[in-house]
Structure 1
């Protein structure tokens, strides 16, 4: 009797929560929280001291999805934190500035920012399956590589994410609004405040190498996440074709470069757990360039457009406040470069 009463109460509570706090529009395990409103006060080079971070009904940064969806030219930007641009104002992220530039010639353009902090190509596959498959935009623009490299720099195996786990708690999390809110109660209240970030970004400060690097003769041997990255790109391409969604890949730019000025500087990135063996800034760039070259190669083989953004954005502090995240000037340059590429390659409707 007690068990039946408890079960009935839980069902009533679950139903009430779904009315008062509707679940996210896509899979609840994707951190796309709708209608977030937050004022930020970043202290970062090249970033305004006050910025707004808001999301639309889909949990993406950017304008609300157009009501005339099928008559508009719709783009979803997919990536990690270098796409999300968390600390930049809503209007200054590169997806928002791209939309502004496209609307000058194509007023019905819309760009949704689906960047998610920490997502690698594995996470991009999930977003393609759970979000892109559902809303079917005209195009996906994907900036990828830095977080895939991160797994190698952390010198650890790629962990399973929620989508690859099948224990009871993950089954419950995906289906119960009560469980979701209990999990997020410190972070999200009825989907109207942002998830609290565990770590804040910081401006890059160079530190000298303390000892020589220890690297294999072939740098690829130090990149255990590289084979999965290649396969994930091919999976994403196949998914986009199956969905009939256009796809544009972009290589990841970096502040670091393979020049004498960087040679004895540590290539650490604060969002990546440091391994015992440190690598220099030029080595990090050469490692990322391996991922970038592979993206260009896979796209060429699959006849998929690829903008080599890494070759277009200078390795300059004007454009990065840390190793990989864009300043406002950097985001503006990315938007200019992408808009020009779309027009020159006739990827926009005419």
Structure 2
């Protein structure tokens, strides 16, 4: 009897090990990378006392392709398929899904009968991710998307912020990085034999999200902005200059070229949406509503220095000049969004991020550009 139990236990362990190894092989062969967990749903209550421009509730839902957006049509080749990528200004994390500029873009395009087809816009943008990392992700995501017509890129600010947070190094160190840290699901593990490192656990988790569609709830989202505003306003160390930004700008140019090239291999058109910012002279009260651009990351501890906002404005101009140059040289379309979005706190809730009112204008301006590209035809 004991021998039977031992043999049964060994058999069960061997079967489990074989199932786990088979699951790992399947995940690696499938080679799927997703920015957001497919079919995931999140619901936020927003700290409207901190960001009164935003509604009090926000949803964040991913489709089967891990995009923030509506379900992908069964036959995507029958619709105009658009993919949005970039940093936090494209992600629109605090905005309700229907208020993001990618949703506004979809709504605007659907109002254009001259396009003669349906429209789907998916969003794979993510906060604080540089061009180099966006390119590495899209190189894995874009080729598997069926019938991709347009990729819209809103990039640049994250590269500048990353340079600030690294304390403006004179040399941009570009060593290896863990791409898995920037996506919700990927095939690289690392797998182990503890429960949450199992490939079988990853598969089961994905099935649970797909079948049950649980909702992750977060309350008082955005409240930390108040703390960051207070820290910036109280700083006694306001940095009025930086070292030569050429290394950062050169790195941005190199990786933007690579990113556009990656997208051009799979999409018919690439649109560079020149990232707008709150470009104005601030009153003392308005300046207290700013919180970005510290020397270091505010999420990793208290900062003792911040960059002067006029300095930031001048550097954003330099970043924008690079984006224009690269887009024009590589044959990508572009939209100067500062022509369409007023620089005020009705259309922005901080220096870089749009309110629903601003997002609507962004979506409309990009829709005009895409509609003109579609009407002009290939090339």
TM-score, reference length from structure 2: 0.74
Q: Matches of 1:57 and 1:31 in 2, distance apart?
A: 11
Q: Matches of 2:70 and 2:260 in 1, distance apart?
A: 27
Of 122, 127, 149, 2:160 maps to: 149
Of 120, 125, 129, 1:110 maps to: 120
Larger Rg: 2
1:41 is matched with which residue?
A: 45
Q: 1:297 to 1:69 in 2, by over 3 A?
A: same
Q: 1:164 to 1:13 in 2, by over 3 A?
A: closer
1:252 is matched with which residue?
A: 275
1:97 lines up with 2:109 in the alignment: no
Alignment of 1:167-186 (within 5 A): 173=189, 179=197
1:316 lines up with 2:344 in the alignment: yes
Q: Matches of 1:15 and 1:66 in 2, distance apart?
A: 31
Paired residues in the alignment total 336
Q: 1:68 to 1:174 in 2, by over 3 A?
A: farther
Name which of structure 1's ranges 204-213 and 109-118 shifts more when overlaid on structure 2. Answer: 204-213
Question: What's the secondary structure of 1:173's corresponding residue?
Answer: coil
Task: Report the Cα offset of residue 96 of structure 1.
Answer: 0.9
Alignment of 1:129-168 (within 5 A): 129-135=139-145, 136-156=147-167, 160-163=176-179
Q: Matches of 1:282 and 1:263 in 2, distance apart?
A: 16
Question: What's the secondary structure of 2:153's corresponding residue?
Answer: strand
1:120 is matched with which residue?
A: 130
Task: Report the Cα offset of residue 349 of structure 1.
Answer: 7.2
CA RMSD of aligned residues (A): 4.0
Structure 1 alignment gaps of length 5 or more: none
1:12 lines up with 2:37 in the alignment: no
1:269 lines up with 2:292 in the alignment: yes
1:236 lines up with 2:236 in the alignment: no
Structure 2 alignment gaps of length 5 or more: 1-6, 168-172
Name which of structure 1's ranges 268-277 and 308-317 shifts more when overlaid on structure 2. Answer: 268-277
TM-score, reference length from structure 1: 0.79
1:285 lines up with 2:322 in the alignment: no
- Is the contact between residue 280 and residue 343 of structure 2 (CA under 8 Å) also seen in structure 1? no
1:85 is matched with which residue?
A: 92
Q: Matches of 1:315 and 1:208 in 2, distance apart?
A: 25
1:31 lines up with 2:35 in the alignment: yes
Q: Matches of 1:182 and 1:280 in 2, distance apart?
A: 50
Q: Matches of 2:251 and 2:260 in 1, distance apart?
A: 14
Q: Matches of 1:184 and 1:325 in 2, distance apart?
A: 34
Q: Matches of 2:262 and 2:292 in 1, distance apart?
A: 32
